[in-house]
Amino acid sequence: MIFTMAAFDVVANEASRTLLLFSALLLVIWYFLGRKVNSVLLVSSLSLLFLVFVLNPFFIIGIMLLVVYMLINFFSRYEKRNQYTHIVFSDYSLQVQKEKNRWFGNHDHSQDRFGFEDINIVRLFGNDVVDLDKTVLVGRDNIVVIRKTFGQTKIIVPIDVEVALSATSIYGRVSFLGESYWDLRNESIAVNSPDYQESHKRVKVVTNNILGDVEVVRV
């Protein structure tokens, strides 16, 4: 998309368009007359073509983004090759609680409750701690949804509640019950505690972010 914008900008700019046409003309002359004589015309044509694009801001931004993408992709593949996951589940449980959303800053979502209400948090950025230790869960599916761009997320669950986690991230790490972790690179993951399907006290946690780690822990 950015390189397309760069091409349109070159065509729209009179100076760039003139240099581009002159470069094409030199290339045509070299092709018909100078291929077997020397490469001066070819070098001149390619130099003008390079000058046209290297002075274009969209082209420079596109090259920078391409380099960043290649670096992120390289390191993510390198980390995954060296990642070791050992999964051991224990019989523990979970609990949830609700508060109003704040778009910025760090926030601790915890309060005393006798009945659970589904939690739906929407944030721009910031760290969040959802403490479910003092929340009473009823015999149904209880849901915690957290959507934000940047920031860390920590879910604290009690030992008598089963938990299922569905996490999506562009770049982040997911840690589940202290037993295992996964590095996400534009990926999604779904995992649940062993007795989640049979338990009457359970909670489902759904997180979506661009950059940030998600941690589910027991207390």
Which whole number is the average pLDDT over 102-118?
Answer: 62
Supply the Cα-derived Rg of the chain in whole angstroms: 27
Structure tokens at 199: 């338990």
Q: Which of 19-28, 48-57, 104-113 has the lowest mean pLDDT?
A: 104-113
3-state secondary structure of 108: strand
Residue pair 97/116 in contact (Cβ under 8 Å)? The answer is yes
Residue 5: phi and psi, rounded to 5, are: -60, -35
Question: Of the candidates 95, 82, 56, which has an alpha carbon nearest to the alpha carbon of residue 181?
Answer: 82
Examine the pLDDT at 208 and tell me if it is beyond 90: yes
Percent of the chain scored above 70 by pLDDT? 70
Examine the pLDDT at 115 and tell me if it is beyond 70: no
Percent of the chain scored above 90 by pLDDT? 14
Q: Which residue has the higher pLDDT, 98 or 118?
A: 118
Q: Which residue has the higher pLDDT, 151 or 63?
A: 151
Measured over all CA atoms, what is the biggest interatomic distance in the chain, rounded to whole angstroms?
90
Residue 147: phi and psi, rounded to 5, are: -125, 125
pLDDT the model gives residue 169: 92
Examine the pLDDT at 111 and tell me if it is beyond 50: no
Which whole number is the average pLDDT over 113-117?
Answer: 62
Task: For residue 140, give every residue at least 6 positions away whose Cβ sits within 8 Å of its Cβ, in sequence order, or none.
Answer: none
Which whole number is the average pLDDT over 92-103?
Answer: 54
- Tell me how far apart the alpha carbons of residues 218 and 162 are, in angstroms, rounded to a whole number: 10
- Tell me how far apart the alpha carbons of residues 163 and 202 are, in angstroms, rounded to a whole number: 6
pLDDT the model gives residue 26: 73
Mean pLDDT of the chain: 76
